[in-house]
Amino acid sequence: PERIKTMQRNWIGKSEGAEAVFEINGKKFTVFTTRVDTLFGVSFLAVSPQYIDLEHLISKEKRKDVESFLKKIKLTKQEDIDKMEKEGVFTGSYAIHPLTKEKIPVWIGNFVLAEYGSGIVMGVPAHDERDFHFAQKYKLPVKVVIRPENEKVQGLTMSEAYTGSGKLINSFGFNGL
């Protein structure tokens, strides 16, 4: 909405990034990211609870879980959501990664804003603190794709997200960039 765009210009500023297209249940969805270099590290997608096409993403098996989560979100004030622990619920759907063709689980997250980007964000736990904590909580994979230039890779386990710059690893034809 225009009022949100104005608010962002005057308060938050402009987010620069890229859009990637993931297929979910036979339909294409645009996902915004400020770190396209981490595309090979995506281990989940997170959708806003207010996403306009949310119904298309919820499987029959997960409908009750999702409805319960959405009810909890509706009862929470917006200012409280911002301070809450990041929580989510699995939709029962999987996205197809646009480059690897892997199946990526689609979650609804209380931290995703419908007004930001497309209302769907890439979850890259190895390189984003919020995503890292979310992945730890829900036991989602952590895929390291950026190595600090001055360090050697010592296994793929991490105790925190690495958000700095470095060389791409585990990124197929882009390794070393």
Reading the chain (177 residues) residue by residue, the pLDDT tens digits are 777 776 666 665 566 788 999 999 999 999 988 899 999 999 999 999 999 999 999 999 999 999 999 998 887 666 665 667 889 999 999 999 999 999 999 999 998 888 777 899 999 999 999 999 999 999 999 999 998 877 665 544 578 899 989 999 999 899 999
CA dihedral of 65, 68, 72, 74, whole degrees rounded to 10: 110
Q: Which residues contact 108 (CB under 8 A, 6 or more apart)?
A: 46, 47, 48, 49, 51, 54, 57, 66, 69, 70, 88, 89, 91
Question: How far, in Å, CA of 155 to CA of 151, rounded?
Answer: 12
Distance of CA 110 to the CA centre of its chain: 11
